[in-house]
Chains A and B, each alone.
Chain A
Amino acid sequence: MSVTTAPLAGVWNPAGWLKRREPVLAILLIGMMLLIGLRAPVFLSQRNLDTVLTDSTILVMLAAGQMLVIMTRGIDLSVAANLALSGMVAALIQLQFPGVPIGFLIAAAMLVGLTLGAFNGLLVAYVRIPPIVVTLGTMSIYRGLIFVVSGGGWVTSNQMTDIFLNLPRMRFLGLTSMVWCAVVVVALVYVFLRHTRYGRELYAVGGNPVAARYLGIDLPARQFMVYCLSGLIAGLCGYLWVARYAIAYTELAMAFELQVVAACVIGGISIAGGIGTLGGAVLGALFLSVIYNALPVINVSPFWQMAIAGIVILVAVAINARDEASGTRRILRESHAGSGKGERPSP
């Protein structure tokens, strides 16, 4: 009797490939863009695609960081407040000391982000408070701190130095530096998740924390690390956001954390931990960005944004649920079939 149920790893199986989340999302994404292009050809113009891509970078990077957190059964609701605070600090430093080199400003924003992320990580991993409570609390703390450091004021484009404003707009090989920045961040997270021990351990931590501990994985250290990484990325995005939109104020990026979580959910990252790929998170973020950017192009009022995002999230949730449920059933069926074969008397 030959075993035919499980295909060998490495054999390319078109049907199986199409059952995976990432190719389906990619096809949907391209199909959606083509449909929008049929309605409004300007959407597929090189200039517009360039804008859409640049606009999506911050969501892509934050989703990559959030994905790491969700993998460990956590959630980081403070990313948007962290981003806004880090961006405000960078903007205030260049306002006070216009001569400071740009590299130092970006490093400062990332350092602030890392510190805020580490504070989350400390409370989650070592004090052992549930992540949703911690980041709910730090979200309002960080948001309030923006008001405190800025005195409630705004930093606008005419208060920003040229290099501070122009760096995200600079182009290399035809793409904006923001796009390159996102490419580098995603590549680093990919290597981390695929090719380092720490990254692989995140799947174990999220999949089964008890088993992970028995394996000798330092659970608190891994949790602490993901919140630090999420914070670090939020800090970097803080500078990029403030520089690209040329403004820093207290309500900057308000409620953006929900889009970040939504991108992960669309990308098939299981909120219960342990399941998900970086490709899914990135495609989820691109998916949302394309929808947001397409609405004004096809003459739909931007007031539709929120409702459409909500429907997309709910559909993604339903699909995730079906996938996960059929996965369980498949395992049950296979093991059942297997035991049935064993018991069947040979003729």
Chain B
Amino acid sequence: MTSRHTAIPDRPPWTVGDFLLRWEVMLIGLLAVVVTANSLISPYFLNMYSLADSTFNFSEKAIIALSMALVIICRDIDLSVAAIIALASTAMGLAAEAGAGVPMLAVIGIVVGIIAGGVNGAIVTRFAVPAIVVTIGTMSLYRGISYIVLGDTSLSEYPADFWVLGQGYAFGLIPYEFIIFLVLAAIMAFVLHGTVIGRNIYAIGNNPTAAQFSGIPVDRYRFCLFTLNGAFAGLSAVLLTSRIGSTRPNIALGWELEVVTVVVLGGVSILGGSGTIPGVVLAVLVLGMFTFGLGLINVPGIVMSIFIGLLLIGAIALPILLRRAMERLRSHS
């Protein structure tokens, strides 16, 4: 009788090899390599102030990556996040011209994000169509609205104290943006890894039909995740607009791809059902430090994109190729 209970263990036995091959552990190793390389290449790298300032370059994208991770774990994708930033920023710009104060601007940015994300979620669940097509459509629509409103002009009539959100420091050292990212990361990690909601998201991502039959309201979850993603994109728009102090319709162009890259690099399967928030946070740091290092040695941004593309493909291809090589070795011996 007891053998029946031990036939399938709760979890696989812990081995050193498996632990070292875990994605998060590999990312920590990668982070160590990047930081070491950077500090060898440039004497300016290991400086508290420049390290803290370097987080400005990725905090806004990192915030969206958190909610995008949940969307992708749930087998969806949202390519409209950058367009939502443009739309939210445009709305904030118009509100600022009409005389809105800082708290009002922040609320407007986030609410526009929520509405845009909710529209995505409604279309995806209502028509049961792949999220990638829907969000390509809304991407064009949201940024298109921004172009209709702004044309080739820009909005920069923001209140004098608006800059604090995106440029301010806590304790004179750590940018608010980065603190917001860390707090949200902690919340999302708790929700995904410590609550029933998180278990349900994994269940939906692994098998939506089975999840539906186990009583999980699949479409309601997906709708809520798209809305959450919109809210985070809206928050990101508030911070970005505050940081650069002006709104153009081409703001945050191409960010959706960088966000998806970070999420996938963080070990979230694009096919859904697996991935962790700590992984995404580590990927954010790896990519952030990597591009910061390239910037220190004056590599132009467009050339950085080559390395980011290679990192994305290499990070996924290498483990697959290694595993295949191992299997071939094993079958030969």
Contacts and interface: CB of A to CB of B under 8 A. Distances in A.
A317 B123 contact: yes
Contacts of A97: none
Most chain B beta carbons < 10 A, residue from A133, A152, A320, A325 = A133
Contacts of B77: 132
Given A133-B313, A136-B260, A144-B302, A310 B142 contact: yes
Contact of A310 (B127, B144, B152): B144
Nearest to B270: A130
A303 B137 CA distance: 16
B48 interface: no
Q: Which of A139, A152, A307 has the most B CB atoms < 10 Å from its CB?
A: A307
Contacts of A134: 313
A313 B147 contact: no
Contact of A133 (B254, B300, B312): B312
Identify the interface centre among B257, B261, B302, B309: most chain A CB within 10 Å of its CB: B309
Contact of A306 (B143, B264, B271): B143
Interface residues of A, number: 47
Interface string A135-166: 01111110111011000100000000000000
A307 B147 contact: yes
A262 interface: yes
A306 B136 CA distance: 11
Contact of A123 (B123, B147, B313): B313
A147 B141 contact: no
Interface residues of B, number: 47
A301 to B, nearest CB: 7
A272 interface: yes
B145 to A, nearest CB: 5
Contact of A307 (B123, B130, B141): B141
Contacts of A127: 317, 320-321
B141 to A, nearest CB: 3
Contacts of A306: 140-141, 143-144, 147
A141 B309 contact: yes
Nearest to A146: B302
Nearest to B151: A303
A200 B132 CA distance: 26
B313 A129 contact: yes
A258 to B, nearest CB: 6
B329 interface: no
Contacts of B128: 321, 325
Majority-rule SS of A interface residues = helix
Interface string A294-334: 00000001011111111101100110111001000000000
Max chain A C-beta neighbours (<10 A), residue from B127, B130, B133, B139: B133
B98 interface: no
Contact of B320 (A129, A138, A250, A301): A129
Contacts of B145: 307
Given A133-B264, A138-B309, A301-B151, A144 B317 contact: no
B140 A310 contact: yes
A179 B134 CA distance: 31
Interface in B148-178: 148, 150-152
Contact of B305 (A144, A304, A309, A314): A144
Contacts, number: 140
B306 interface: yes
B300 A147 contact: yes
A313 B148 contact: no
A137 B309 contact: yes
B133 A305 contact: no
A323 to B, nearest CB: 11
Contacts of A233: none
A145 B305 CA distance: 9
A141 B144 contact: no
Interface string B316-329: 11001100000000
Nearest to B124: A317
Interface in B240-273: 249, 254, 257, 260-261, 264, 270-271
A275 interface: no
Given A141-B306, A304-B144, A305-B144, A258 B134 contact: no
Interface string B285-319: 00000000000000010111110111011001100
15 contacts: A133-B312, A137-B313, A138-B313, A139-B309, A141-B306, A144-B304, A262-B140, A304-B144, A306-B144, A307-B140, A311-B137, A313-B140, A314-B138, A317-B129, A321-B129
Interface of A: 75, 123, 127-130, 132-134, 136-141, 143-145, 147-148, 152, 250, 255, 258, 261-262, 265, 271-272, 301, 303-311, 313-314, 317-318, 320-322, 325
8 closest Cβ contacts across the A-B interface?
A307-B144, A310-B141, A306-B144, A310-B140, A144-B306, A313-B137, A141-B309, A321-B127
Interface of B: 77, 123, 127-130, 132-134, 136-145, 147-148, 150-152, 249, 254, 257, 260-261, 264, 270-271, 300, 302-306, 308-310, 312-313, 316-317, 320-321
